[in-house]
Amino acid sequence: MYEKIIENIKSNLSENNELNKQYLSSQIEVYKDHPQSTEIIKEISQLIWECMSEDEKNEFIEISENETPIVDILNDIYYDIDEGNYETPLKKLDEFMATFNPMFEDDDLIEYHFFTNLLEELVFRNYIGLKKELKYIPNSQPLLDLYYIYGFLLLETGQYPKAEKYLKKAVKINPVSSRIILELAEIHKIHTNNFDEYFKLTCDALRYAYSPQDIARCYRNLGYYYIEKNQTKTAQALFQYSMEYDLSPLAYREIKNIPSKNEAQDLTASRCMELIESEKIQTEANPFILSMLDELTNEYMENKLYRQTLYYLEIKYNLNPDEKTLLEIKSIRNKINY
């Protein structure tokens, strides 16, 4: 069965090896939970290797010779984390990190980053930018996930200074990852009581977010902030507006528990928008992200790279559902399954 998947992936490759590598890396993420993921990822990895320059191959070999078992430790703890058991994974990571040698540390000439996709890199370049030469941390060394998961587990168990240390390491690798920035914001909410920093980090996360769940969480965070400022109407508007992106029970619960909620009830959608905009808070997905999604889908479509096109079209549709995008998605799916 997986042979057909590999043939489909190969059919979307172009003459541009840089685009091919980005596409192939995204396919590893797509098929990581497939029943035959081991075989599929092995084949994709070989295709990535064939797209590398000789310098890249030599660098990869050098890295592999000094490999640390990051993938193994992460695979070993994912199940327990998914089951809500944080104690065992944290103990394993504590032991692992005690002997872990730092790698891909920035120096005077190079900064190391990892981006989940090209959209994140475009957002990074637009809002933050490079100060040195960029080098990518390879998929085989998922430092971003290691630092993020360790920081998350430390946060969940109340080890706030240590959690902040590792979440900051993760943010340094990917400064536009909303999910990591939001975890870092939590520390300022529940530990330092620095609500100004909590607000700033949440606004950063909102600027970079491209998933409805992350955007909704940003609005809920801002709702908590305005409760602290005793602006209950604005708080309720934010919680209500968050449900435009994610119908989370957390938002319903917070609306119910807002102090003096009788003063803030029965807000219309337009009134919610007015209250949020009056605070100069972004009220939709970042227009820059939406424009980059258009550029990426157009570029990949012109090159007949249908799976990449579909990947970014689905992100676009999740942010801004409309009939035109839905028809484009159906058309691309038909091409892929042809």
Per-residue pLDDT of 323-334, as tens digits, reads 999 999 999 999
Question: What does the alpha-carbon distance between residue 154 and residue 144 come to, in Å, rounded to a whole number?
Answer: 15
Q: CB-based contacts of 137: which residues, under 8 Å, 6+ apart?
A: 104, 112, 113, 114, 143, 144, 173
Give tens-digit pLDDT for 177-195. 999 999 999 999 999 889 9
| DSSP run (H or E) holding 101 | none
Interval 193-206: pLDDT, tens:
899 999 999 999 99
**Comparing C-alpha atoms, which of 1, 4, 3 is closest to residue 337?**
4
pLDDT in tens, 249-282: 989 888 888 865 545 467 898 999 999 999 999 9
Residue with tokens 């400064």: 175
- Long-range contacts formed by 214-219: CB under 8 A, 24+ apart: 214/178, 214/179, 214/182, 215/242, 215/245, 215/246, 215/285, 215/319, 216/242, 216/243, 216/244, 216/245, 216/246, 216/248, 216/251, 217/182, 217/242, 217/246, 218/178, 218/182, 218/242, 219/245
- Express each pLDDT in 217-236 by its tens digit: 999 999 999 999 999 999 99
Q: Is the pLDDT of residue 25 over 90?
A: no
Residue 63 has pLDDT above 70, yes or no: no
Residue 162: pLDDT above 50? Answer: yes
pLDDT for the residue numbered 93: 97
Cα 224 versus chain centre, distance:
22
* pLDDT value at 241 more than 80: yes
Q: What percent of the chain has pLDDT over 90?
A: 65
Q: What is the mean pLDDT of residues 71-75?
A: 92
Query: Residue 33: what pLDDT?
Result: 67
What is the model's pLDDT at position 338?
A: 54
Q: Are strands 133-136 and 110-113 parallel, antiparallel or unpaired?
A: parallel
The stretch 277-300 carries a mean pLDDT of: 95
Residue 276 corresponds to which amino acid? Answer: I
* pLDDT for the residue 264: 47
